[in-house]
Structure 1
Amino acid sequence: MKRNERFLMKQSGLQLKIHSLYEYDETAQSFMTQFKYQEDWLLAGCFRKEVRQLLQLHKSKAVIVPIPQAERSKHFFNQTEALLNETKMSYEPILMTNSAKRQARKTRINRLTATDEFECIRTCSRTQALLFDDVCTTGATLYRARRCLLKQGIEVIGACVLFRVKK
């Protein structure tokens, strides 16, 4: 278990299984820069098959980790929604964050100690959910999203991400 996850698990008292397709290396970083920040939404289809297979393993409806509302109004699309739309699998956009900025703009310490929270903006149709996000660096965002869903009585069976930092 990674140091960040041990810290987050100690804080929350619960472990979250995080499954990733690929390591977040220089190639992945270049891909995400073009996809996410240069808004090359056609790249969402690059991992269609792999994301679909990963999500099908868990047989639960995915809940996407949202981008901050301020960021959403500036950008053409939400990258996690775009990735899932390509799979043709259903998901539920039930979370909203009050964070003022994207996680990518925060330091490791800021991510781990952030107090920004998620809120449920609608009810989930299931009692179990699988979190889905594009990149996992510390896991803090996933743990906070999980905490919000648990407060709503939704069991989070794990999280799936496209890329994950290996440390």
Structure 2
Amino acid sequence: MWAKHPNYSDVLISNHSIYEYNDSLKELIKRFKYNGDYALAGCFRQELIEHIKLYKKSIIIPLPVSSLRLKERGFNQTEALLECAGISYENLLKRIDTEISQAKKQKAARHKGENPFQTEKVLNGENILLIDDLYTTGTTIRRAASVLKKSGAGEVRSLTIGR
């Protein structure tokens, strides 16, 4: 499932989601992400490996979670997906702690507020592949892409498990 939006062209080339977000995927992600069933990352292993092969010359960057979310969950779900698949990645982004997670916000509220991402890395035109579990409104991924573009990234694309 490819998503391209006219406003993405300045920061995000495209997003590819492996699966459509339906009730089954919703339950699986909930069990994995919120109930701590870390082993469920293996469900996505083969598809993730196959899709990432298409981006050979890109730096793989998982979307970070805030330190509050990391403490609550005990793991970053996106890093868990990559680790389970044996995919190397770089942590070039840091997420600033916010009181309310994106998942708990209404659509309009997701678009408001400050960009929660930062990077200290200066890039020199490298292509980036952002990885996240879900693509909802695209705000999170576009904000991360914006920070990387300002830091000197070349093309930024994203790959998510569901949309």
Global fold match (TM > 0.5): yes
On the 8 A contact 2:62/2:130 being kept in 1, the answer is yes
Per the alignment, in what secondary structure is the counterpart of residue 83 of structure 1? helix
Considering only aligned residues, what root-mean-square deviation do their CA atoms show, in Å?
Answer: 2.3
Moved over 2 A (4+): 12-16, 121-126
Normalised to the residue count of structure 1, the TM-score between the two structures is: 0.86
Q: Deviations over 1:66-98 (max 9, x none)?
A: 112211122211100000001111111111112
> What aligned pairs does 1:17-28 form with structure 2 within 5 A after superposition?
17-28=14-25
- Show structure 1 runs of 5+ residues with no match: none
d(CA) in 2 for partners of 1:127, 1:14? 13
- What amino acid maps onto 1:69 in structure 2? S
d(CA) in 2 for partners of 1:21, 1:131? 14
The corresponding residue for 2:72 is 74
2:84 aligned residue (83, 86, 91): 86
d(CA) in 1 for partners of 2:36, 2:149? 32
- CA shift in 2, pair 1:121/1:69, >3 Å: farther
How many residues align? The count is: 160
- CA shift in 2, pair 1:82/1:57, >3 Å: same
Q: Tell me, yes or no, if structure 1 residue 31 matches structure 2 residue 28.
A: yes
The corresponding residue for 1:129 is 128
1:57 aligned residue (54, 57, 81): 54
How much does 1:117 deviate? 2.6
